[in-house]
Chains A and B, each alone.
Chain A
Amino acid sequence: METIDKKRALKGGEFLIRETDAQDIFIPEEWNEEQRMIAQTCRDFLDSEVMPKLEEIDSMKNPQLMPQLLDKAGELGLLGTSVPEQYGGFGMDFNTSMLVAEEIGRGHSFAVALSAHTGIGILPILYYGNEEQKQKYLPKMAIGEWKASYCLTEPDAGSDANSGKTKAVLSEDGKHYLINGQKMWITNGGFADVFIVFAKIDQDDKLTAFIVERNFGGITMNEEEKKMGIKGSSTRQIFFNDCPVPVENMLSERENGFKIAVNILNIGRIKLAASAIGGAKAALNHAIKYANERKQFGQTIGSFGAIKHKLGEVASHIFASESALYRAGQNIDDAYEDLVKNGMDSSEAKLKSTEQFAIECAILKVHGSEVLDFSVDEGVQIFGGMGFSADGPMDRAYRDSRINRIFEGTNEINRMLAIDMILKRAMKGELDLMGPAMAVAKELTSIPDFGAMSDEGLFAKEKKVLLNLKKAGLMIAGAAVQKLMMKLKDEQEVLMSLADMLIEGYVAESVLLRLEKLIGMRGEENCSLQTDMMRIYFHNAIEIAARAGREAIYAFAEGDEQRMMLMGLKRYTKVEPFNLKEARRRVANHLLSENQYPF
């Protein structure tokens, strides 16, 4: 079983320095019948229960509507996908739960309510709760009888989540912690029965997590926040005034709260990406239909090159991001299975496996939310004036998209986090970055490579481009670390550039691997449009990486060193000319003839 060993051996972040075998990744074309049926159930549920009520949901006139919809989703089992069967759920694997997130993702405010409940609401108890806590809370949460929210953010503690001021003090009789403080931006706050609350005990430095029930007393809240988008999602400020929480409701150990918060957010981030891809596909589908219907100058607007350009670009971005999404999801599933096989407890293994791929989770959070923003933005543009009208579908899509770059860690925080995690792993010796970085530096001073790598074989050229892209990243990262040392963390602009190179490298590699595997399954002749999308994405990725690389080099290198790195970057970001216009047209024509995104 050599392939299995090799597959399992690829650790989070290692994609940078190692090649992945296309056979080892999961691609969405491999969803099995059962998973497709689950996806269909999500679609049927949204179409019959949620989509006809979007206006009513957003109006917030009936505060019972959202909890009622969650109840209905609970009846179908959609809230218990990640919860093991012994606690009343369905114990599905990670990728299947991501598929559910993707399908529900086009459900606007409902999608946010559902994912907050099933993600940051349920998971802290599932992964950190003791047996009594799991028995008490999970069965009710898995069917939606109890709805959950997650209270981390405070008015003065947003991105800097550990700086919260909420306090927990043991009562005189030692039976309760009395919680005092103020939480902000709490999704599902208006109707939640259970709150996961992060607070500091006495003078602790670090947070501790508690399971708080609404009826414990001492909880008051402000009115619903007025928001730019996801207007139907309940968002509250919550005040805790001597809220008595039984000592047995402490989650995990004292001062373990920040770790819980971080680990739960890892999962939340990649799931947010899944949901974003669902939203992006929906926006693109609207745009395709409109491009087929709307006529100007005597023809449908879809027949115009400028519109085809947009459709082709958006589709390629979605296709690429989705490839990375489920590749990482499968990595997490594989790592989980491995850990369980080696005797680790299931909850711990779930956490460890996502922690292992936390870099990929951060990459996907950023990429998915930005692809969604790109899709809705081009969607509005394709709709023209109707895109700006509150009566068309793009208005809500545009407004609702925007939050995704902010919550679950802003995209700035996630960009820096991704690089920070890589450097930390390198420092700890878990990821050998310096070796490859030095090798690249050596290559730089040697004779330029005028195509030593074989041009034969499927996607040989793209593989070379990809390898070079990684080299470019390693070259700049290696030099930045050497040059800036401890100052690097304050040079956020450089970190952002490195993050962009990292993200593009990962996504480009994922879409290439998807194509390789897909062609193995269906034959080259049946994958020409997917190949077009891959190439379109590649060109984008290289452009972004080249610009980010230059930015970084200008920022920290000078003189000869700068010149040499710029030359290296140019060499490493060289791509052969490819008629992108025609490729986009081919993709767009197919979207238009299918009247949807069919991949």
Chain B
Amino acid sequence: MKILICISHVPDTTSRIKFTADGKQLDKQGLQFIIGPYDDYALARAVELKEAHGGTVTVLNVGTAETEPTIRKALAIGADNAIRIDAEPTDSWFVARQIAEVAKDQGYDLILMGRESIDFNGGVVHGMVAEMLGLQAFSPVMMLDVVDGKVKMAREIEGGKEYLEATMPLVAGCQEPIAEWKIPNMRGIMTARTKPLEVRAASDETKLTTHVHFELPPPKGAVVMIDPSNPEELIQKLVEEAKVL
């Protein structure tokens, strides 16, 4: 089985997010970057599938050289080789174009990625890639197995779960609990540097979206404790201070 797994390089979930003075860009200074958590689950599943069925796992990232530690972490977790498209992943369409370009004619059985990245949370790349390649796409996929050449999936839907069976090749946007989250082990870390990481130029420079402005949510106010025997005080505060009633 040939699996392509697309990962994003995103700030750690505990980061304190700041923007540049003009409000147009993320201020990357002092931030720790990680594999997008949903992508990380997709990767873990890809490695499990490879262990069960054999084959190869190729990891793909659209990003500048600073993402290489993140890519090598994916290799340490168990991917066999990596491709980095040397460009800023500015918008979903651009990223999807690069992925489609890498994947076309390569015969990947599965193209897996997270349901969304956790930086800009677009959540559309999987759909776009599928469209560009003429494949079907599924998201958010919480369970994915390959049985007798067919893909069995479970998908989260409004108010319940949907169980599906589909033929390969396909594109899936994944989320937990699709696999057990993997911590790279020492052996993986030590072999990561010996695995190939190919850098390619972007194939299509067109960008359709630009960020005009970012704004941080207003800071959360302090918690005020009100005695349960005193509901009047609560109402008064809701009316006068919070002005929500």
Q: Which of B68, B181, B183, B187 has the most CB of A within 10 A?
A: B183
Given contacts A37-B189, A38-B189, A595-B16, whether A76 and B72 have CB atoms under 8 Å apart is no
B128 to chain A minimum Cβ distance, whole angstroms, is: 31
User: Within the assembled complex, what's the spacing in Å between the Cα atoms of A48 and B180?
Assistant: 12
Q: Are B185 and A37 in contact (CB under 8 A)?
A: no
User: Within the assembled complex, what's the spacing in Å between the Cα atoms of A595 and B183?
Assistant: 25
Given contacts A33-B72, A36-B69, A37-B72, whether A598 and B187 have CB atoms under 8 Å apart is no
Tell me the B159-186 residues at the A interface (CB within 8 Å).
181, 183-186
Q: Are B184 and A41 in contact (CB under 8 A)?
A: yes
User: Within the assembled complex, what's the spacing in Å between the Cα atoms of A38 and B16?
Assistant: 24
Chain B contacts for A37, CB-based, 8 A: 69, 72-73, 76, 184, 189, 192
Q: Are B222 and A41 in contact (CB under 8 A)?
A: no
Tell me the A29-77 residues at the B interface (CB within 8 Å).
33-34, 36-38, 40-41, 44-45, 48, 75-77
Chain A contacts for B53, CB-based, 8 A: none
Q: Does A81 contact B (CB under 8 A)?
A: yes
Q: Does B157 contact A (CB under 8 A)?
A: no
User: Within the assembled complex, what's the spacing in Å between the Cα atoms of A595 and B192?
Assistant: 32
Chain B contacts for A21, CB-based, 8 A: none
Chain B contacts for A81, CB-based, 8 A: 186
Q: Are B187 and A33 in contact (CB under 8 A)?
A: no
Chain B contacts for A36, CB-based, 8 A: 69
Interface size on B, residues (CB 8 A): 18
Q: By DSSP majority rule, is chain B's interface helix, strand, loop, or mixed?
A: helix
Contact residue among B68, B72, B189 (Cβ-Cβ distance under 8 Å from A41): B189
Chain A contacts for B193, CB-based, 8 A: 34
B219 to chain A minimum Cβ distance, whole angstroms, is: 13
Q: Are A90 and B190 in contact (CB under 8 A)?
A: yes
Q: Which of B30, B190, B193 has the most CB of A within 10 A?
A: B190
Query: Which range contains the number of A residues in contact with the other chain?
Result: 20 to 34
Chain A residue nearest in CB terms to B187: A77
User: Within the assembled complex, what's the spacing in Å between the Cα atoms of A76 and B187?
Assistant: 8
Chain A contacts for B73, CB-based, 8 A: 37, 40
Chain A contacts for B183, CB-based, 8 A: 41, 44-45, 48, 76
Tell me the B204-230 residues at the A interface (CB within 8 Å).
222
* Binary flags per residue of A570-599, CB closer than 8 Å to B gives 1, else 0: 000000000000000000000000110010
Q: Does A295 contact B (CB under 8 A)?
A: yes
User: Within the assembled complex, what's the spacing in Å between the Cα atoms of A48 and B182?
Assistant: 11
Q: Are B185 and A76 in contact (CB under 8 A)?
A: yes
Q: Does A107 contact B (CB under 8 A)?
A: no
Contact residue among B30, B72, B181, B222 (Cβ-Cβ distance under 8 Å from A594): B30
User: Within the assembled complex, what's the spacing in Å between the Cα atoms of A41 and B72?
Assistant: 13
Q: Are A77 and B185 in contact (CB under 8 A)?
A: yes
Q: Are B186 and A90 in contact (CB under 8 A)?
A: yes
User: Within the assembled complex, what's the spacing in Å between the Cα atoms of A48 and B181?
Assistant: 10
User: Within the assembled complex, what's the spacing in Å between the Cα atoms of A564 and B62?
Assistant: 71
User: Within the assembled complex, what's the spacing in Å between the Cα atoms of A75 and B181?
Assistant: 15
Chain B contacts for A78, CB-based, 8 A: 186
CB pairs A–B below 8 angstroms (29 shown) = A33-B68, A33-B72, A34-B189, A34-B192, A37-B72, A37-B73, A37-B76, A37-B184, A37-B189, A37-B192, A38-B189, A40-B73, A41-B183, A41-B184, A41-B185, A41-B189, A44-B183, A45-B183, A76-B183, A76-B185, A76-B186, A77-B186, A77-B187, A90-B187, A90-B190, A295-B222, A594-B16, A595-B16, A598-B30
